C-alpha cells in the first residue's frame, strides 16, 4: 500500500462559538411556535429538511409536516424530490448550499446562515485550489462539509455514507486522490481501501474530542455494549468500533443489532432519533474527557445548536436568511454533487 503523509498544511483553527443561549420555552410556548411554523410552512409551500444533530423539537416538526430528518446525503436527495418551492434547511451552511446548488429554482432558507462547520472553515477555497494545482493528475474528492467554492474545484463530492464505495471505485481504476478536508475520515478510508490519498489537515471540533483511552475504560464497564463511531472521530476511537458509519448507518445499527446497550461516538443530537427508533435500548454517550483532554466537551455541534424554534419561525416570517450562490460557482459545483448522486443511484441500489 502506498500512503502519502498528510499535506503539510495547517490552516488556522477558527474560534468555536458558544452554544446559543436560547431562552428555554415552556411546553405551551413550544406548542405555540410549532403551530405558527406549521401554518407558515403551508402558506409558503415550504418544507423542513433537518439533520439528526438538530434539536429534537425541530426533528419532530420536520417529520410531522412532511419534511425529512436525515444524514447529509439524504438531505440532498430529499430536496430534489420535494414538491415544495421553499426548502428550509435546519442544519449547517454547507447543507443549505448543497440544497441550493441542486435546486437553483427553489428558495432555500436556513434559521441562521452563520451556522458553519469546522471542516468547511478549515478549507479556504483559494488555498485548496493552490493545493490541488500541485497534483494535476489526482482526482479531487471533497467531503460535503465544504463551501460551494471548494466543491466547484472537485471531481467528486462525497458524504460519510458513500465515501468508502466511491474511493474504492476510484482506487480500482488506479486513480491517486486528493482528499479534503477531514483528515480522520480520510485516514479511515485510506486504511480501508489502500488508496493513494493526499489528505488535507482539517477536523471536526465535535468528533475530535472523543478520547480513545477514556473509551476503553467505558467499554470495560459495559462489555456487553456495541460501540458505534462516526468516522470523523480520531483513529484510536474508530479502531474500537463495532460499527463505523454515517449518522443514518449508526441509527440503523441501533435498530438492527441484537445488543441492548450502545456506546455512541457522535454528536448527541442523534440520540433523539435513536431513542425514537429503539426506545427499549440503552444509549451511552462516548467520553470526551480523559487523559489528554483539556476539558469535557458536550459532544454537540455549536453550529447545529444555532437552529431553534424561535429563529425557524422568524426566518419563515421574514425570509431574511436565504442562501444565494454565484451562478458560475453553482454550475461547476453541481457537477461533482450530481456525480455522487448518480453513483448512489446506479452502484448502490
Closer Cβ to ligand SF4, 124 or 176, answer by number:
124
CA dihedral 79, 142, 208, 59 (to 10 degrees): 0
Q: Is 246 in the site for ligand 13P (CB under 6 A)?
A: yes
Is residue 31 exposed (0-12), middle (13-18) or buried (19+ Cβ within 10 Å)? exposed
92 binds ligand SF4 (CB under 6 A): yes
Laid out side by side, the sheet with 243-244 consists of: 243-244, 226-229, 261-265, 282-285
Residue 82 and residue 132: Cα distance in Å, rounded?
35
Residue among 84 and 199 whose Cβ is closer to ligand SF4: 199
Cβ proximity of 292 and 214 under 8 Å: no
**The only residue of 37, 46, 49, 72 in contact with ligand 13P, by rule CB under 6 A:** 72
Give yes or no for residue 299 binding ligand SF4 (CB under 6 A).
Answer: no
142 part of the interface to ligand SF4, by CB under 6 A = no
- 226-229 and 261-265 beta bridge pairing: parallel
- Candidates 117-125, 220-228, 282-290, 314-322 — which segment interacts with ligand SF4 by CB under 6 A? 117-125
By CB under 6 A, residue 208 contacts ligand 13P: no
Window of 191-199, 200-208, 270-278, 329-337 that interacts with ligand SF4 by CB under 6 A: 200-208
Q: Which is nearer to ligand 13P, 34 or 186 (CB)?
A: 186
Smallest gap from Cβ 259 to ligand 13P, in A, equals 21
Among 101, 164, 301, 306, binds ligand SF4 (CB under 6 A): 301
> Does the footprint of ligand 13P cover residue 145 (CB under 6 A)?
yes
By the rule CB under 6 A, 232 interacts with ligand 13P = yes
Determine, following the binding rule CB under 6 A, whether residue 146 of this chain makes contact with ligand 13P.
no
**Distance (Å, whole) CA 9 – CA 74:** 32
Annotate 265-311 with three-state secondary structure. ECCHHHHHHHHHHCCCCEEEECCCCCCCCCCCCCCCCCCHHHCCHHH
CB hemisphere CA count around 89 (13 angstroms): 31
Is position 71 an interface residue for ligand 13P (rule: CB under 6 A)? yes
120 neighbors 145 (Cβ within 8 angstroms): yes
Contact of residue 159 among ligand 13P, ligand SF4, none (CB under 5-8 Å per partner type): ligand 13P
Question: How many chain residues interact with ligand 13P (CB under 6 A)?
Answer: 11
> Do the Cβ atoms of 4 and 186 come closer than 8 Å?
no
Q: How far is Cα 37 from Cα 77, in angstroms, rounded to an integer? A: 23
Q: Which three cell numbers stand for residue 107?
A: 428558495
The residues, any chain, with a CB within 8 Å of residue 275's CB and separated by 6 or more, are 281, 283
Q: Is 232 in the site for ligand SF4 (CB under 6 A)?
A: yes
The one among 86, 122, 160, 233 contacting ligand 13P by CB under 6 A: 160
Part in contact with ligand SF4 (CB under 6 A); list of ranges 111-119, 216-224, 326-334, 337-345: 111-119
Residues near ligand 13P, by CB under 6 A: 71-73, 145, 159-161, 204, 232, 246-247
Residues near ligand SF4, by CB under 6 A: 92, 117-119, 145, 204-206, 232, 267, 301, 303-304
Amino acid at each position: 500500500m502506498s500512503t502519502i503523509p498528510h499535506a503539510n498544511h495547517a490552516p488556522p483553527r477558527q474560534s468555536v462559538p458558544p452554544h446559543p443561549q436560547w431562552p428555554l420555552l415552556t411546553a405551551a410556548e413550544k406548542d405555540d411556535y410549532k403551530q405558527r411554523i406549521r401554518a407558515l410552512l403551508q402558506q409558503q409551500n415550504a418544507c423542513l429538511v433537518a439533520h439528526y444533530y438538530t434539536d429534537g423539537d425541530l426533528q419532530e416538526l420536520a417529520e410531522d409536516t412532511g419534511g425529512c430528518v436525515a444524514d447529509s446525503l439524504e438531505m440532498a436527495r430529499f430536496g430534489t424530490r420535494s414538491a415544495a418551492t421553499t426548502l428550509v434547511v435546519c442544519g449547517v451552511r454547507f447543507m443549505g448550499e448543497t440544497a441550493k446548488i441542486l435546486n437553483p429554482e427553489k428558495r432555500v432558507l436556513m434559521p441562521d446562515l452563520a451556522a458553519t462547520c469546522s471542516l468547511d472553515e478549515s478549507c479556504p477555497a483559494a488555498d485548496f485550489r493552490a493545493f490541488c494545482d500541485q497534483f494535476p493528475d489526482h482526482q479531487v474528492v471533497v467531503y460535503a462539509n465544504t463551501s460551494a467554492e471548494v466543491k466547484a474545484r472537485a471531481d467528486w463530492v462525497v458524504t460519510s455514507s458513500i465515501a468508502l464505495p466511491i474511493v474504492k471505485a476510484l482506487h480500482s481504476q488506479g486513480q491517486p486522490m486528493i482528499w479534503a478536508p477531514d483528515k480522520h475520515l480520510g485516514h479511515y478510508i485510506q486504511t480501508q481501501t489502500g488508496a493513494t490519498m493526499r489528505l488535507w489537515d482539517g477536523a471536526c471540533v465535535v468528533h475530535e474530542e472523543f478520547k480513545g483511552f477514556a473509551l476503553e475504560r467505558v467499554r470495560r464497564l459495559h462489555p456487553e455494549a456495541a460501540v458505534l463511531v462516526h468516522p470523523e472521530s480520531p483513529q484510536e476511537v474508530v479502531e474500537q468500533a463495532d460499527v463505523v458509519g454515517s449518522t443514518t448507518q449508526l441509527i440503523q445499527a441501533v435498530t438492527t443489532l441484537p445488543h441492548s446497550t450502545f456506546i455512541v461516538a457522535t454528536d448527541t443530537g442523534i440520540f433523539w432519533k435513536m431513542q425514537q427508533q429503539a426506545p427499549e435500548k440503552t444509549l451511552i454517550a462516548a467520553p470526551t474527557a480523559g487523559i489528554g483532554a483539556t476539558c469535557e466537551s458536550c459532544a454537540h455541534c455549536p453550529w447545529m445548536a444555532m437552529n431553534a424554534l424561535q429563529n425557524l419561525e422568524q426566518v419563515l416570517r421574514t425570509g431574511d436568511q436565504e442562501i444565494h450562490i454565484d451562478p458560475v460557482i453553482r454550475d461547476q459545483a453541481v457537477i461533482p454533487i450530481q456525480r455522487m448522486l448518480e453513483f448512489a443511484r446506479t452502484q448502490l441500489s
